[in-house]
Amino acid sequence: MKTQKTVANIIVVGAGFAGVAVVKTLLKTHVNAKITVVTDKDYMTYYPSLYGLVTDANQSEAAFPLTSIFPERVHILRATFSRVDHERRVVIALHKGVETLLPYDYVVVALGSEVNYFNIPGLKERSFSFKSVDSALALKAHFESVLASAKTLEKNDAVARLHTLVVGGGPSGLEVAATLKHYLVKRAKIHGIDSSLVTIDLIEASSRLLPTMSEKISRIAEARIRTLGVNVFTNRALQSEDIDEVVLNDMEVKTGTVIWTAGTSINNEYSTISGVTLSERKRVVVTDYLTLPTDDRVFIAGDGAATEYSGLAQTAIHNGKYIGKTITRMIRGKNLTPYKPHVPTFVIPIGKNWALFSHQSMLWCGVLPSILRRLIDWQYKWSITK
């Protein structure tokens, strides 16, 4: 990879974990460069807190204004990414419906991921997710509508209306199912509804919850979620969804709400970048320096990069810090070091004042990990806004 000593135009596409980490790292190195962040929002979404927006959390816990994160010297362009023109070395974005050309010396594309419905009939149109602030708040509003309408129904119809299916037994599914059980029981009482009519089912297509983690962790997580009154069904794949009914591989279920947490894929906009090749896991193949094999000025960060542990916030942050340091070294003409993955730590809240901590062979459950999770959330917010 070539290096050079020049003042650079650096374009960062996306203001998620990876994009923010790139910019904050560049600022710490005091590199002499113009930094532009291209994003379609004026805030950063803190994804680990989104499930809380469905219930009692305040929006400020999951949406951090970019003006509180970046100093004035960082230019924030509210625009939609269109493509990268390698020959002219410009990023093309749509700003207020008009194409804007942004010359770059280095560009970091950190577009994140989006919900993948796997072409299941009816799922996209009739299910809910909480992949964004807007979708989480829409789900919360939906539950208020469900509770209001349930008061007027006969018991059997109310049971179906108050039946929620959370599809996906990963961390997000566990977090939202546990939180919802407590929240909906409380809201049902406020609405004058028999809280015993509230049912939460957690559906997982594989043979156990948290299938990418150890069997011991899966057993602990399932035991915990069951104590909260959530029903667990494994080996159940969702096949289709109708207006008030879903079809699993061996049963049909009446329900008022389906929450889909079982699938994501990288942002479709990655496909607009020429030179992109996808790995078997459908992520962008990158070099040892997280650049495109065809262009060493274009970096891919976060969920979109085909690196070990990609898809996690910790990995996105690690990507971003590495890229920020690498760009600085390139500008200053220094030798580069290949990217090394960071082994992630998992802290998964499952209900109030309880969480599961896992790092390599370490496993810790209960109140203290839940306190640790709150400290991690606070520390991250403080670190990017200080």
Q: What is the pLDDT of residue 275?
A: 87
Cα 198 to Cα 230: distance, rounded to the nearest angstrom: 10
Q: What is the pLDDT of residue 168?
A: 97
CATH of 123-260, one of 3.30.1330.20, 3.40.50.300, 3.10.129.10, 3.50.50.60: 3.50.50.60
308 contacts 341 by C-beta, under 8 angstroms: yes
Q: What is the pLDDT of residue 6?
A: 64
221 contacts 250 by C-beta, under 8 angstroms: no
Residues of the chain with CATH 3.50.50.60: 8-115+264-344, 123-260
Q: What is the pLDDT of residue 7?
A: 80
Ramachandran region, residue 302 (left: φ > 0; alpha: ψ -120 to 50; beta: rest) = left
Q: What is the pLDDT of residue 377?
A: 96
Q: What is the pLDDT of residue 1?
A: 52
Beta bridge partners of 231: 201
Q: What is the pLDDT along the chain (386 residues), one digit of tens a residue?
A: 554 456 899 999 999 999 999 999 999 999 999 999 999 999 999 999 999 999 988 999 999 999 999 999 999 999 999 999 999 999 999 999 899 999 999 999 999 999 999 999 999 999 999 999 999 999 999 999 999 999 999 999 999 999 999 999 999 999 999 999 999 999 999 999 999 999 999 999 999 999 999 999 999 999 999 999 999 999 999 888 887 888 887 778 899 999 999 989 999 999 999 989 999 999 999 999 999 999 999 999 999 999 999 999 999 999 999 999 999 999 999 999 999 999 999 999 999 999 999 999 999 999 999 999 999 999 999 999 98
Q: Is 348 exposed, middle or buried (0-12, 13-18, 19+ CB in 10 A)?
A: buried
Q: Is the dihedral of CA 275, 279, 285, 288 positive or negative?
A: negative
pTM of the model: 0.94
Cα 137 to Cα 130: distance, rounded to the nearest angstrom: 8
Q: What is the pLDDT of residue 301?
A: 98
Superfamily holding 8-115+264-344: FAD/NAD(P)-binding domain (3.50.50.60)
